[in-house]
């Protein structure tokens, strides 16, 4: 009945509009606001019932959830449904709200197009549709007649097409179209919006140069165009916007010098021009921008000296100049910036000694890594009491580690690796209570590890590549928070202390290349979070500890220890008795009985054998009974009068958003549909779960295809794990949460059916089959093109990022769970189903969920390790390699097993990773995309979960990797930008990580020659750096967190033995000696060989 009333109301709306009378005719008796809102609600999916107070029986809507009314007129003036968990389409009902002034639908899951006339509501001042799933082009003329519109936000959607022209919307004060997929050039008319205060078009694909005329925007306060594809120079008149306080043009391809007009921005507080191609010197007049709080010029091609005038910026809090070609010293005057908190001048060619203000001012984080600073590190007596992080790595500092560092009571991170420091490790340093990261690796330290070590805060400790001697102190077991320990490449002796087993949070440990002796403590098997434990190249002996980790440890992690033994090493241990031999007691020809008399207890063994046989027979009987029971139940399920019939009968009613059977009979079952409509099936109930309709079988159940009465096909998954499924309330709560999810790359869950013994999930039907069949079972003539493969990978990444934003882990990624629609777009299915199971660990580890073990993250093998979204990242990485190579994750040969990740990684080491691309493509792919996307797959399959990027980062990286596809497919394989090296950058918090690409590799010997001849030569390097198109890199060890956190895409590295070497590439290929230079060789031990 309610559905009939709703249809009548909708009819009244359109009847009134058709007659042009607005409120005339039959609709005059009804409140326009109520009518419009009810029509709007009809298009909305409300899984949480947040709109339950909205009733067509009410005369006014003022008491409804999310509604605000004008006290003078009683009309609806505000509609705020932000974060209500709504989905569906945005219909025309809102156009009836003629008094509406504010509309906010942000943070929901609305999709589809937006009504073209929405912005034309006469009183509308604020429109916020951000953080939804709207798609398609912004309607032409949407901003053509804005009336009173002042604030518009369409951010964080999926809008495509050209950037809209908003010149006609002269009342706009704030416009936010960020994080969409808008393209084309920036319309010149945008500068004519005199009232505009805030403009944010960041995170799109806008191209071309910045149009002239920005000086007309005399009210502009904030300009954000970062992460686009803008080219050309900065506008000369940008400094003529007198009120401009924030400018962010980062992550574009802007070039040229800084325009002098910038000096007139006396009120500007934030200037971010990072990750562009800006050149020249930083002018001294930058010191006249007295209001600056953040100055970020990192990742450009600036040269010359850092101007000392920066020291006059009293409000400056963050100074980021990393990844340029600056020379000379670090000005002492910068210490005069009283508000300075963060300084990053890494990855330059700075020389001289370290200024004392680094430790004496109020700076909290400072990084001078990857320069050529030298001399002794001096810490003044009046050292700062607030400094938290210091990174002096990869320089040429010498002398002893200053004892005064222990005065820095708030210090959390200290990285002095890759210098020439000597002497012993000061005991006072390792005793610091607040220190979480200490990296003193790759120096010339000697002596023993202080026995006073044991800081409760230590999370990362690296003393590798020194000349340390003595034993590993057992007190190290008191570092209860330690997750990463690296003592490799020293001369440590003695046994591995059993106290290491007390490090319950330990994930990686590298004790390789020492002189350790004795056996491995058995207690090590208690380390539940252990992922990597490298003890290779020592003198250890005995058996490996028991436990799942050491049962699966890689041989490279225990190699070159002649005394180690055990089944894993195919070597029996001395004194270990062989397994007992089972003999037939009735045999008279047993050779052993000829040497020894039959023991007197032989008859007792016969009795034990008889009991064992009876137990085996009893178990077999129980199994047979179980099989018969399951068969009978399945036959009942398929019978016409069973649950299938109940399901079909329950599907006959619909009621608003939820179509739910009103019956309370558990045996009849309960059906819930998300979205309303008439879900009656066209097939008979007997055919609903018939094998003839079966689409496939998976770890969670069997999938059948059926058709609704309206002709809409759906897929029904019959869960086959009924005995493991949670209670009805928990099941419904989890399924309803999954039903709220809507994303173009997710297979939509449309409803469910419940009984205690039968659970059905109703999904949209995706007609293009699954990715596994397309990759491995299709003919050569029907192969996926490179663009299609890239789109599939990007679609998978976006869907997983969407799931993770809603705290949902997929658990079961594999190519057979990736569906393809008619247009070839990827849709991820089977997401979140493992949460329906109370015994998650047991089930996830079973072969049912991970039918192809090649997709499983290594932490799945440890039951006590917390399963996180990083497990999905690992499976995604495997899928990336599978899609790009056309090979399965694991290939079983006659006498060998080939793992795809290992194959690609080996090809990467040899500089031939492009040869792994699917041969069906016949070389028709761009190298600038192929190489980094394969490397991205390897990074995602890192053995250490924390080293894998988040899926949101993966999406950003993929969007940066993609080359413009303007050329025909015959042109694929050529560089995207001739003669230049594309630079990628992504930001995690306030940390910026640089990525670059190159077209070839250099031999390790030649690299070593470069190190011997050129490293440390400031003049030679600065001359060379001036010609480099990229002066950045991205290497970072697990302990290197001050500059770039460990989740970094290693775009290009070389191998030198077991160490990767970071290098940069010049834009001039004619001079090979200028093509590659080594940037102070930041290297780290590879452990088991994984990045």
The DSSP line for 895-934 is: S-EEEHHHHHHHHHHTT-GGGGS-GGGTT-S-HHHHHHHH
Same domain, 718 and 759: yes
Residue 596 has a pLDDT of 40
- Give the integer Cα–Cα distance in Å for 948 and 877: 9
Residue 77 has a pLDDT of 94
User: Pick the residue with more confidence: 968 or 495?
Assistant: 495
Residue 963 has a pLDDT of 61
DSSP 378-431: ---TT--SS--EEE--SSEEEEEPPGGGGG-TT--EEE--SSEEEEPPPHHHHT
Same domain, 844 and 707: no
Same domain, 825 and 957: yes
Is 718 flagged in the annotation as binding?
yes
Residue 513 pLDDT exceeds 90: yes
User: Pick the residue with more confidence: 610 or 389?
Assistant: 389
Residue 87 has a pLDDT of 92
Residue 823 lies in a domain: yes
Region 365-378: what's the mean pLDDT? 94
Look at residues 985, 973, 998, 1007 and name the one whose alpha carbon lies nearest to residue 1067.
998
Strand 277-281: give its sheet, edge to edge: 255-256, 277-281, 301-305, 325-327
Same domain, 997 and 1020: yes
Residue 141 has a pLDDT of 83
- Region of residue 923 (left: phi > 0; alpha: psi -120 to 50; beta: else): left
Same domain, 962 and 909: yes
Q: Are 1067 and 1082 in contact (CB under 8 A)?
A: no
Q: How confident is the model at residue 467 (pLDDT cuts 50, 70, 90)?
A: very high
Residues 830-847 pLDDT 10s = 887 766 655 444 444 444
Residue 1037 pLDDT exceeds 50: no
Q: What is the DSSP letter of 471?
A: B
Same domain, 1037 and 901: no
Choose the final residue of a domain: 976, 992, 1024: 976
Residue 756 lies in a domain: yes
Share of the chain above pLDDT 90, in %: 39
Residue 432 pLDDT exceeds 80: yes
Measured CA to CA in angstroms, residue 540 lies from 422, 545, 546 at distances of 29, 13, 16
Choose the final residue of a domain: 710, 732, 765: 765
Residue 473 has a pLDDT of 94
Choose the final residue of a domain: 737, 765, 793: 765
pTM listed for this prediction? 0.58
DSSP 989-1018: TTEEEEEE--S----HHHHHHHHHHHTT-H
Question: Who's near 736: CB < 8 A, 6+ residues apart?
Answer: 47, 672, 674
Same domain, 534 and 472: yes
Q: Are 1030 and 996 in contact (CB under 8 A)?
A: yes
Residue 796 has a pLDDT of 93
Top mean pLDDT of 16-25, 325-334, 665-674, 757-766 is at: 325-334
Q: How confident is the model at residue 966 (pLDDT cuts 50, 70, 90)?
A: very low
Residue 454 has a pLDDT of 74
**According to DSSP H, which parts of 489-595 are helical?**
548-551, 591-595
Region 34-40: what's the mean pLDDT? 91
CATH of the domain at 479: 3.80.10.10
Q: Which long-range contacts (CB under 8 A, 24 or more apart) does 217-222 make?
A: 217/191, 217/193, 217/241, 218/194, 218/242, 218/243, 219/173, 219/194, 219/195, 219/243, 220/196, 220/244, 221/197, 221/245, 221/246, 222/197, 222/198, 222/246
Same domain, 755 and 871: no
Residue 991 pLDDT exceeds 60: no
Q: Are 986 and 960 in contact (CB under 8 A)?
A: yes
Residue 389 pLDDT exceeds 90: yes
User: Pick the residue with more confidence: 652 or 853?
Assistant: 853
Q: Are 821 and 766 in contact (CB under 8 A)?
A: yes
Same domain, 719 and 790: no
Look at residues 484, 406, 332 and name the one whose alpha carbon lies nearest to residue 390.
406
Residue 690 has a pLDDT of 61
Residue 41 lies in a domain: no
- Give the integer Cα–Cα distance in Å for 372 and 360: 22
Average per-residue pLDDT for the chain: 75
Residue 424 lies in a domain: yes
The 3-state DSSP class for residue 247 equals strand
Same domain, 879 and 929: yes
User: Pick the residue with more confidence: 962 or 154?
Assistant: 154
Residue 898 lies in a domain: yes
- Give the integer Cα–Cα distance in Å for 303 and 771: 49
Q: Are 908 and 895 in contact (CB under 8 A)?
A: no
User: Pick the residue with more confidence: 698 or 11?
Assistant: 698
Residues 584-640 pLDDT 10s = 333 333 433 344 444 444 344 333 444 445 555 565 556 555 555 554 444 444 444
Question: Who's near 1043: CB < 8 A, 6+ residues apart?
Answer: 322, 344, 346, 347, 367, 369, 370, 391, 991, 1036
For 670, the domain range is 641-765
- Tokens for 471? 């034993």
Residue 65 pLDDT exceeds 80: yes
Strands 694-697 and 670-674 turn out to be unpaired
Measured CA to CA in angstroms, residue 164 lies from 14, 109, 252, 1017 at distances of 29, 23, 20, 52
Residue 379 lies in a domain: no
Same domain, 817 and 800: yes
Residue 1004 pLDDT exceeds 60: no
Using H for helix, E for strand and C for coil, what is the string for 297-360? Answer: CCCCEEEEECCHHHHHCCCCCEEECCCCEEECCCCHHHHHCCCCCEEECCCCCCCCCCCCHHHH
Residue 487 has a pLDDT of 96
Residue 894 has a pLDDT of 61
Q: Are 863 and 829 in contact (CB under 8 A)?
A: no
- Region of residue 836 (left: phi > 0; alpha: psi -120 to 50; beta: else): alpha
Q: Which long-range contacts (CB under 8 A, 24 or more apart) does 188-191 make?
A: 188/212, 188/213, 189/165, 190/165, 190/166, 191/216, 191/217
Residue 623 has a pLDDT of 59
The 3-state DSSP class for residue 1044 equals coil
CATH of the domain at 918: 1.10.510.10
Residue with tokens 């393209």: 183
Residue 204 pLDDT exceeds 80: yes
Q: Please compute, for residue 947, the number of CA atoms within 13 A of its CA located in the half-sphere on the CB side.
A: 27
Question: Total structural domains in the chain?
Answer: 4
Look at residues 857, 806, 859 and name the one whose alpha carbon lies nearest to residue 835.
806
DSSP 89-118: ---GGGGG-TT--EEE--SSEEEE---TTG
Look at residues 595, 705, 686 and name the one whose alpha carbon lies nearest to residue 638.
686
Residue 569 has a pLDDT of 77
- Tokens for 140? 């032409």
Residue 247 lies in a domain: no
- Tokens for 427? 């005991």
CA dihedral 1074, 1078, 1079, 1084 (to 10 degrees): 160
Residue 245 pLDDT exceeds 90: yes
- Give the integer Cα–Cα distance in Å for 146 and 811: 47
Residue 246 pLDDT exceeds 90: yes
Q: How confident is the model at residue 718 (pLDDT cuts 50, 70, 90)?
A: confident
Residue 776 has a pLDDT of 86
Residue 484 pLDDT exceeds 90: yes
Region 1044-1061: what's the mean pLDDT? 32
Q: How confident is the model at residue 425 (pLDDT cuts 50, 70, 90)?
A: very high
CATH of the domain at 689: 3.30.200.20
Same domain, 676 and 809: no
Residue 945 has a pLDDT of 85
- Give the integer Cα–Cα distance in Å for 1 and 655: 9
DSSP 556-576: GGT-S-TEEEBGGGTBPPTTP
- Tokens for 421? 């420091």
Residue 1053 lies in a domain: yes
Q: What is the DSSP letter of 746?
A: B
Residues 781-815 pLDDT 10s = 678 889 999 999 999 999 999 898 888 888 888 88
């Amino acid at each position: 009945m309610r559905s009939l009333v709703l249809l009548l109301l909708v009819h009244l709306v359109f009847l009134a509009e058709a007659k042009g009378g607005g409120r005339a005719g039959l609709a005059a008796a009804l409140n326009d606001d109520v009518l419009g809102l009810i029509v709007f609600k009809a298009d909305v999916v409300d899984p949480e019932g947040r709109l339950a107070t909205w009733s067509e029986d009410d005369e006014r809507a003022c008491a409804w959830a999310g509604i605000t009314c004008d006290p003078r007129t009683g009309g609806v003036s505000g509609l705020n449904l932000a974060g209500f968990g709504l989905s569906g389409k945005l219909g025309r009902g809102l156009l009836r709200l003629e008094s509406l002034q504010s509309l906010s639908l942000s943070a929901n899951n609305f999709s589809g197009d937006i009504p073209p006339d929405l912005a034309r509501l006469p009183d509308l001042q604020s429109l916020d549709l951000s953080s939804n799933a709207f798609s398609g082009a912004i309607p032409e003329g949407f901003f053509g007649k804005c009336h009173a519109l002042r604030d518009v936000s369409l951010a964080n959607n999926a809008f495509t097409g050209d950037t809209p022209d908003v010149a006609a919307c002269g009342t706009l004060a704030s416009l936010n179209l960020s994080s969409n997929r808008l393209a084309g050039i920036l319309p010149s008319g945008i500068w004519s919006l005199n009232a505009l205060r805030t403009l944010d078009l960041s995170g799109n694909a806008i191209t071309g140069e910045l149009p002239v005329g920005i000086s007309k925007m005399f009210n502009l306060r904030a300009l954000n165009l970062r992460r686009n594809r803008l080219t050309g120079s900065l506008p000369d008149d940008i400094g003529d916007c007198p009120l401009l306080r924030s400018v962010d043009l980062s992550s574009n391809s802007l070039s040229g010098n800084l325009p002098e007009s910038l000096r007139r921005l006396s009120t500007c507080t934030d200037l971010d021009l990072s990750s562009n191609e800006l050149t020249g010197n930083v002018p001294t007049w930058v010191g006249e921008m007295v209001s600056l709080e953040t100055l970020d010029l990192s990742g450009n091609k600036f040269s010359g000296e850092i101007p000392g005038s920066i020291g006059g910026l009293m409000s400056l809090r963050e100074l980021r100049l990393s990844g340029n070609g600056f020379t000379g010293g670090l000005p002492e005057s910068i210490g005069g910036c009283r508000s300075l908190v963060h300084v990053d001048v890494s990855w330059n060619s700075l020389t001289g000694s370290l200024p004392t203000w680094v430790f004496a001012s109020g700076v909290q984080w400072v990084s001078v890594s990857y320069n050529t600073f030298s001399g002794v590190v001096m810490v003044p007596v009046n050292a700062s009491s607030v400094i938290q992080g210091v990174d002096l790595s990869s320089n040429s500092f010498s002398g002893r580690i200053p004892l005064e560092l222990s005065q820095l009571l708030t210090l959390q991170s200290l990285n002095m690796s890759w210098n020439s420091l000597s002497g012993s490790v000061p005991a006072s340093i390792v005793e610091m209570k607040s220190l979480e990261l200490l990296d003193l690796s790759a120096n010339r330290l000697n002596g023993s590890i202080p026995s006073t070590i044991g800081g409760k805060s230590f999370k990362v400790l690296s003393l590798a590549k020194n000349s340390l001697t003595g034993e590993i102190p057992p007190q190290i077991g008191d570092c209860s928070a330690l997750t990463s320990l690296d003592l490799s490449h020293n001369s440590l002796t003695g046994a591995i202390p059993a106290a290491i087993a007390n490090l319950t949070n330990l994930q990686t440990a590298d004790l390789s290349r020492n002189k350790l002796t004795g056996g491995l403590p058995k207690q090590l098997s208690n380390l539940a979070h252990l992922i990597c434990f490298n003890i290779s190249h020592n003198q250890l002996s005995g058996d490996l500890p028991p436990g799942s980790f050491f049962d699966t440890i890689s041989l490279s992690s225990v190699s070159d220890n002649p005394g180690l033994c055990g089944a894993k090493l195919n070597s029996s241990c001395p004194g270990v008795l062989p397994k007992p031999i089972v003999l037939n007691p009735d045999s008279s020809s047993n050779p052993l009985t000829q040497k020894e008399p039959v023991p007197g207890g032989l008859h007792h063994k016969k009795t034990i054998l008889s009991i064992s046989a009876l137990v085996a027979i009893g178990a077999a009987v129980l199994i047979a009974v179980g099989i018969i029971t399951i068969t009978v139940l399945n036959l009942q399920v398929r019978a016409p009068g069973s649950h299938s019939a109940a399901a079909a009968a329950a599907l006959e009613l619909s009621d608003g958003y939820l179509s739910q059977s009103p019956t309370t009979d558990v045996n009849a079952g309960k059906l819930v549909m998300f979205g309303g409509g008439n879900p009656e099936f066209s097939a008979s109930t007997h055919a609903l779960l018939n094998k003839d309709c079966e689409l496939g079988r998976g770890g969670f159940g069997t999938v059948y295809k059926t058709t609704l009465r309206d002709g809409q096909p759906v897929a029904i998954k019959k869960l086959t794990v009924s005995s493991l499924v949670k209670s009805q309330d928990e099941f419904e709560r989890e399924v309803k949460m999954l039903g709220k999810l809507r994303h173009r790359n997710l297979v939509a869950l449309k409803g469910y059916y419940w009984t205690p013994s039968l659970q059905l999930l109703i999904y949209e039907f995706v007609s293009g089959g699954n990715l596994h069949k397309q990759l491995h079972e299709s003919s050569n003539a029907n192969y996926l093109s490179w663009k299609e493969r890239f789109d599939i990978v990007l679609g998978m990444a976006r869907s997983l990022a969407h799931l993770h934003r809603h705290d949902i882990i997929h658990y079961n990624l594999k190519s057979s769970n990736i569906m393809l629609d008619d247009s070839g777009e990827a849709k991820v299915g089977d997401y979140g189903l493992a949460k329906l199971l109370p015994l998650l660990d047991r089930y996830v580890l079973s072969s049912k969920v991970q039918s192809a073990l090649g997709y499983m993250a290594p932490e799945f093998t440890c039951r006590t390790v917390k399963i996180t979204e990083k497990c999905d990242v690992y499976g995604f990485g495997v899928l990336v390699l599978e899609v790009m190579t056309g090979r399965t994750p694991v290939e079983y040969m006659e006498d060998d097993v080939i793992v795809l990740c290992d194959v690609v990684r080996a090809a990467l080491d040899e500089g031939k990773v492009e040869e792994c691309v699917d041969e069906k493509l016949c070389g028709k792919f761009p190298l600038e995309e192929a190489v980094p996307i394969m490397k991205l797959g390897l990074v995602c399959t890192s053995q250490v979960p924390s080293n894998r990027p988040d899926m949101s980062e993966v999406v950003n990286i993929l969007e940066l990797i993609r080359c413009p596809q303007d050329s025909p497919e015959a042109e694929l394989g050529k560089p995207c930008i001739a003669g230049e090296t594309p630079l990628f950058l992504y930001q995690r918090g306030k940390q910026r990580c640089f990525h670059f690409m190159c077209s070839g590799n250099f031999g390790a010997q030649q690299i070593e020659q470069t190190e011997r001849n050129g490293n440390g030569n400031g003049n030679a390097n600065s001359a060379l750096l001036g010609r480099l198109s990229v002066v950045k890199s991205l290497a970072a060890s697990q302990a290197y967190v001050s500059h770039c956190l460990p989740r970094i895409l290693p775009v290009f590295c070389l191998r030198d033995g077991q160490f990767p070497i970071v290098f940069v590439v010049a834009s001039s290929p004619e001079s090979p000696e200028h093509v590659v230079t080594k940037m102070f060789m930041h290297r780290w031990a590879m452990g088991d060989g994984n990045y």
